[in-house]
Amino acid sequence: MKIAVTGAAGFIGSNLVKGLNARGIDDIIAVDDLTDGDKFRNLADLKIADYVDADDFYDLFAEGAFGQVEAVFHEGACSDTMELDGKFMMDNNYTLSCELFHACQDQGTRLLYASSAATYGGSDTFSESPEFERPLNVYGYSKLLFDQRLRRELGAKFENASTQVAGFRYFNVYGPREQHKGRMASVAFHQFKQFQTERRVKLFGEYGGYGAGGQMRDFVFIDDVVSVNLWFLDHPEKSGIFNLGTGRAQPFNDVAMAVVNTLRQSKNAALLTVEEAVLGGLIDYIDFPAALVGKYQSYTQADLSALREAGCQHTFADVQTGVSAYMQWLNGAKN
């Protein structure tokens, strides 16, 4: 089985390659832009058949240069929600994706692609339906427009696709292999770094009607994201747009405490409550940044109805379980 993974040296892409390798699949075309050369580390321990630069892959693929490719996991995108260059964002996330979609349909190749929960933006309902889609930034809009284009061409649930097309609206994903993402890395990753250097973690103070550290997100562990993607690889008859979160909203305070307590446990220190951590200076609440006012989702929670109706019954880790496993991995990588 020949598979292509775009954004293969990135966070989700490299974990998908790892998940495919675990199944014994290594006939993989890894597609990325290694201008940031350090991203090679995400591929160094993985098995692939070939690496193709992103500038070259899409035209070559459309020409059939790689022979029969069973599926493309399309994770390549600009995912910086603070990026203001709309032309750059639309070229990368919309136009390129449209070209890839048509090439996949022409060649009978399945397309499993990354959408985003940013498509919901200012909504308080997170169900895969147009009336709830209200992006707050051009990143969210670029992802939404591709979803809309596919609905227009394939039908509301992609029922007219000639071969599988499945889009996944990722919520707040965290886990190994995200170290290259800079400011766009997960809050868990940043808090690990903060605790290692400052012995404290930072959270936003009051905002959006939520108390300090009380803003709530659907935080989803990368292993769960990979499992759901591979479930769809196993079920080529399933197409559509699907939320990929846990279906559970948890406050940022929960993430902070999972970070703090896991790292304290590694030093045989006692577990703390949020209140004890704040009093002890281990949690530092900072003023909400002016640059994010009006552009920030204070609450997200994936509606998993469509995923469950498709037959995917995967059980997702909660924050305490997933972040604890991630902190142990980071501690091991550090040491």
- Model pLDDT, residue 295: 79
* pTM for this entry: 0.96
Catalytic residue set: 139, 181
Sign of CA dihedral 320, 323, 325, 328: negative
| 3-state SS, residue 217 | strand
- Model pLDDT, residue 334: 52
The edge-to-edge listing of strands for the beta sheet with 3-6 is: 50-53, 28-32, 3-6, 71-74, 110-116, 165-170, 240-244
- Model pLDDT, residue 84: 67
Helical segments of the chain, H only: 11-22, 54-62, 86-90, 96-107, 138-154, 187-198, 222-234, 252-265, 274-279, 305-309, 319-334
* DSSP H or E segment with residue 244: strand 240-244
Spatial separation of the C-alpha atoms in residues 262 and 282, rounded to whole Å: 13
* Digitized pLDDT (tens) for each residue of the chain, 335 residues in all: 999 999 999 999 999 999 999 999 999 999 999 998 999 999 999 999 999 999 999 999 999 999 999 999 999 986 666 676 788 889 989 999 999 999 999 999 999 999 999 999 989 999 999 999 999 899 999 999 999 999 999 999 999 999 999 999 999 999 999 999 988 899 999 999 999 999 999 999 999 999 999 999 999 999 999 999 999 999 999 999 999 999 999 999 999 999 999 999 999 999 999 999 999 999 999 999 998 888 788 999 999 999 999 999 999 999 999 999 999 999 986 54
DSSP 33-99: -TTSGGGGGGTTTS--SEEEEHHHHHHHHHTTTT---SEEEE--S---TT---HHHHHIIIIIHHHH
